[in-house]
Structure 1
């Protein structure tokens, strides 16, 4: 029996299929560059790099699903990128900014935050493989990108007041540890991936997004504070809804 010839180039990939992984690697570069800026004392640019990494993190998964190029390697890259960009980089940036002032205690706070981030990612990955996570209207605990932004809020607040350190290093250390604990907590937080908009409201939503993007470019730090405050309010609303649901079930 004659063997069927192998299809020529069957193992080749279109370059476009590599785009999601390239976006993930660029996000890693952004996180690493944020650490470099912090080491040089350019703290505003350090935080900007974490924001860039967050935007790219939101794009790579959507690109992979849109282009049907989801792979196991891509999933591993995304998880490792999240740990660097939203666990390691924010912790080091905060340490270089003010936590170094309290020595070992500040470093322990950074370690606690990074460890909480990696534990949160490990839990998410395990539940996704078991088919019990990664879907639905809620996350369990604060997602790592949101945790990174919240952890950096003491810095962002200081940027709004002429780069003056507004909080003692000890208070910032306690705050960072609390944010880390929220990441590994069991409390539900909103997942905004499944939000749907009616066709009639689509123009208003697009206008709002454009205006929000303009605000980020013109007033980046004040806008970040407002968005963080809105996110904290959404967490509180999610807890109230959970308690109401438990009461109805009980």
Structure 2
């Protein structure tokens, strides 16, 4: 009687990065559900949670040395749902634009720009390490683009009595879509380094930022978007001067 073939076994903890990615997908899909129900603030929170999980899963995979091709493809598909589809639909439902089909066209443009941004990132990630520059992103990354796209919702939550001009939302969403597919270099946290003696200041700053987000969430998110747009504009000016 022939012995049974030994099947490959893997420890369960190696699935943790993929489980985090799946959780991010669930957060993005649930954000769409809440946006359709009119609970826009909860939808925004879930998209931001998906962005945090997106930052965690890759680092967790590298730390556990459980990177795989399936994990990379799953992460890319999750990014499209969470940062291409969910923010656009949230803005569409929030704007109450049933009678304005132009906004739907802009939402489609934003989603396609996100797809192109992710495709370009995947192609660049397959290049040899010595041929790519991991210290910068080319264009605004998808998670940052999704957060920027939600700035009108942040503004409305911080200023409930303010106007909601849909045409400005459309123009702003087109601007964010352009930034995602542009060639503007944007900073990457992977390349950021600090001195060991400055670590305590970074920790204190992070706690202060977390306290601001908890105490004044919408104003703080608006300020973070403004600062990030300023960094992108500064990078664009530097690039044009070098060219």
Paired residue for 1:111? 108
Paired residue for 1:158? 156
- RMSD of the TM alignment (CA)? 2.1
Which ranges of structure 1 fall in alignment gaps of 5 or more residues? Answer: none
Change (3 A) 1:6 1:165: farther
Contact 1:99 1:170 (C-alpha < 8 Å) held by counterparts: no
- CA distance, structure 1, for counterparts of residue 26 and residue 64 of structure 2: 23
Paired residue for 2:27? 30
Which digits, 9 at most, give the CA deviation of each residue in 1:29-75, with x for residues without a partner? 11111111111111111100111000000000000000000000000
Paired residue for 1:174? 171
Q: How far 1:169 sits from its partner (Å)?
A: 1.0
The answer on 1:74 being equivalent to 2:74 is no
Q: How far 1:161 sits from its partner (Å)?
A: 1.1
- CA distance, structure 2, for counterparts of residue 100 and residue 58 of structure 1: 32
- CA distance, structure 2, for counterparts of residue 165 and residue 88 of structure 1: 26
Change (3 A) 1:135 1:74: farther
The answer on 1:187 being equivalent to 2:184 is yes
Paired residue for 1:146? 144
Q: How many residues align?
A: 241
- CA distance, structure 1, for counterparts of residue 235 and residue 54 of structure 2: 24
Question: SS in structure 1 opposite 2:186?
Answer: strand
- CA distance, structure 2, for counterparts of residue 102 and residue 64 of structure 1: 45
Q: How far 1:102 sits from its partner (Å)?
A: 4.5
- CA distance, structure 2, for counterparts of residue 34 and residue 12 of structure 1: 36
- CA distance, structure 2, for counterparts of residue 178 and residue 243 of structure 1: 18
Contact 2:79 2:143 (C-alpha < 8 Å) held by counterparts: yes
Paired residue for 1:58? 55
Question: SS in structure 2 opposite 1:201?
Answer: helix
- CA distance, structure 1, for counterparts of residue 62 and residue 184 of structure 2: 28
- CA distance, structure 1, for counterparts of residue 75 and residue 239 of structure 2: 30
Question: SS in structure 1 opposite 2:126?
Answer: helix
Q: Give the alignment partner of residue 235 of structure 1, picking from 228, 232, 235.
A: 232
Change (3 A) 1:190 1:102: farther
- CA distance, structure 1, for counterparts of residue 212 and residue 4 of structure 2: 52
Q: How far 1:236 sits from its partner (Å)?
A: 1.9
Q: How far 1:122 sits from its partner (Å)?
A: 0.7
Change (3 A) 1:7 1:122: farther
Change (3 A) 1:195 1:9: farther
Question: SS in structure 2 opposite 1:139?
Answer: strand
